[in-house]
Amino acid sequence: MRRKDREITDICAILELVSECKVCRLAMTDGGVPYIVPLNYGYEYADGALTFYFHSAKEGRKLEILKKNPTVCLELDGRGQLVEDANPCAYGYTFASVIGTGNVEFIEYTEEKIYALNRIMKHQAGIEAPFTASMADAVCLYKLTTNDFTCKIRAK
């Protein structure tokens, strides 16, 4: 990271940001061409690694790409606000962001799918739900576990 003065290494501060955000962007490559999608997510932190959980339909371009090349980059950001100044060259924007890389893994087993769905529900809605096997098996679930992540904050 070029701006070390903006780097955040305190895991509690990083997890606070991950908790605040509800949408991330998942970037992948399709034959050398970048492709990025916004996704809702659930997450957990254990043993120095962040695991993000995602769900989607069982088919589509995103899944085709991930099956060919599971290497991805995840980005989430928040706390954005315009910083004004009398000098137009001094305008800026506050932000906080997390970026991580790794490989997506598809979740195959029903119990793990239900677990993943509940991580998503807990993060997005603050609840866990009584998912059934048929509910879990009706969607595609996948996860990104990364210990290669950084956090950067630009305050006012």
- Residue 155: pLDDT above 90? no
Q: How far is CA 105 from CA 24, 82, 98, 129, in A?
A: 17, 37, 20, 23
The length of the chain, given as a count of residues:
156
**46 DSSP β-pair partners:** 49
pLDDT mean over 12-26: 96
pLDDT mean over 52-79: 97
4-154 — its CATH code? 2.30.110.10
Q: What is the pTM of this model?
A: 0.93
* Burial of residue 95 (number of CB atoms within 10 Å: 0-12, 13-18, 19+): middle
- Residue 38: pLDDT above 90? yes
Q: What is the model's pLDDT at position 5?
A: 65
Euclidean distance between CA atoms 17 and 12, whole angstroms: 9
pLDDT mean over 9-25: 95
pLDDT category, 11, cuts 50, 70, 90? very high
Task: Indicate the residue type of 72.
Answer: V
Euclidean distance between CA atoms 42 and 55, whole angstroms: 10
pLDDT category, 8, cuts 50, 70, 90? confident
pLDDT mean over 113-129: 97
Q: What is the model's pLDDT at position 9?
A: 83
Q: What is the model's pLDDT at position 94?
A: 86
Is there a contact between 133 and 108 (Cβ–Cβ < 8 Å)?
no
